[in-house]
Chains A and B, each alone.
Chain A
Amino acid sequence: MAVTDTGISQRLMNWARLKSPWITVYNSGACNACDIEIIACLMPRFDVERFGILVTGSPRHADILIVTGHVSLKQASRLRRVWEQIPGPKYVIAVGACGASGGVFHGLYHMMESVDSVIPIDVYVAGCPPRPDEIINAVVTCLKLLGEDAAHGGKEWRQKKPVSGGVPEEKTPMGVS
């Protein structure tokens, strides 16, 4: 994780990251509609390469992971392994209704509850499937986050702090004193 470093090399690295994010797409059991929309992003009509966004096959070369689809039990450990292979600072975008909550598959016997029970998600994209411009918008939002995180020195500043010093309060049930 990037430390708040004002050295020339760190600033150069942050600048370079914002100029050319490399993404990798992982389908954790989607119906391929989201994948088709992501492919449409890469095609000449939307053409994300003009923003410097490049799709890589290997997660080891990527900065941003795009997860499409719900996570089935079989995919959960694979998705975790792919996420662990991405070098930090890493960002995850969950595409589609399935990525946010499980979609129509929510509550089935072979599903994880949501993607963020497996890996932490930074940006959610709604839609079934979302339009390509919304996916590009998500990547650009992710880049804004990346810039802010570099200025704050990590992702911790975004996390909500617990109210009472880290230890959750014991709630007494209603009617019991």
Chain B
Amino acid sequence: MTGLVTLDLIKERMKEFGTVEQVQKNRIRITTVPGRLHDAVTTSQAVLLFDRLVTISTLDNGETFELLYHLIGPHRIIISLSINLPRDQPVTPTVSDLLPSAGIYERQIHDLFGIFFEGHPDLKKLMLNEDWPENEHPLRKDWKPDPGVFYGGIKVERT
């Protein structure tokens, strides 16, 4: 069964979702749009046996946020589904209904980058403290800690 999925088959099937390029011997990168991501994950899961999510990595390019969904299967080929989100409205549909393990990564990305995942069942804080202020996302490139803002923890009295 696993022998049937080849690099050529993956390239052929994923061509409809966007540009496909082979970046390494066993790694394929597909640049798609947020609207097609759900279909791309469904296809790669059901047809191409990509059953495991390695991680979701996020890049802040300065203009956009680039999300990379790395998936792997028993054939040991990794595909990276790449989408770009605009900086002023970073919203994308969730994939946690297809890949349950994506839910916790999406919570982390929501914390640190402020990207909103539509349809996520419980998008609460994961890494930052509970009293962290809203609309402060520390891993954005243009973020700087504001000395006037209380970021949680315990207030230190200075004399």
The interface of chain A, by Cβ under 8 A from chain B, is 71-74, 76-77, 80, 109-110, 112-113, 117-118, 168
Instruction: Number of B interface residues at 8 Å Cβ cutoff, please give it.
Output: 13
The number of A-B residue pairs with CB atoms under 8 Å apart is: 35
Since A73-B152, A77-B153, A110-B151 are in contact, a sample of 7 more A-B pairs with Cβ atoms closer than 8 Å, ordered by chain A residue number, is A72-B153, A73-B128, A73-B129, A76-B154, A110-B138, A112-B153, A113-B156
Check if B116 is an interface residue, CB within 8 A of chain A. Answer: no
> When the two chains form their complex, are residues A110 and B129 in contact, meaning their CB atoms are under 8 A apart?
yes
Select the residue from B151, B153, B159 with max chain A CB neighbours within 10 A: B153
Whether the pair B138, A117 counts as a contact (CB closer than 8 A) is no
Least CB distance, B138 to chain A, in whole angstroms: 5
Does B132 belong to the interface (CB within 8 Å)? yes
- Asked if B148 is at the interface of the complex by the 8 Å CB criterion, the answer is no
Q: Is the CB of A109 within 8 A of B145?
A: yes
Contact B154 A110 (CB under 8 A): no
Q: B154, A112: Cβ atoms under 8 Å?
A: yes
Closest 9 CB pairs of A and B: A73-B153, A74-B129, A76-B153, A73-B129, A76-B154, A117-B156, A73-B152, A109-B145, A109-B138
With a CB–CB cut-off of 8 A, which chain A residues contact B151?
A: 73, 109-110
Residues of the A chain whose Cβ atoms lie less than 8 Å from the Cβ of B156? 112-113, 117
Q: B136 — nearest CB in chain A belongs to which residue?
A: A109
- Give the chain A neighbours of B130 by CB distance below 8 A: 74
In Å, the complex CA distance between A109 and B151 comes to 8
Contact with A along B124-159 (1 / 0, CB 8 A): 000011111000001000000100000111101001
Cα distance A112–B92 when bound, in Å? 34
The answer on a CB contact under 8 Å between B154 and A77 is yes
- CA separation between A154 and B159, bound complex, in Å? 24
Cα(A71)–Cα(B129), bound, Å: 12
Provide the bound-state CA to CA distance between A72 and B159, in Å: 23
Q: Please name 11 pairs of A and B residues whose Cβ atoms are closer than 8 Å in the assembled complex, sorted by A.
A: A71-B153, A72-B153, A73-B131, A73-B132, A74-B128, A109-B145, A110-B129, A110-B138, A112-B153, A117-B154, A118-B154
Q: Which residue of B has the minimal Cβ distance to A71?
A: B153
Residues of A contacting B153 in the complex (Cβ-Cβ under 8 angstroms): 71-74, 76-77, 112
CA distance A19 to B110 in the complex (A): 52
Inter-chain contact B159/A80, CB cutoff 8 Å = no
Whether B159 lies near A110 (C-beta < 8 A) is: no
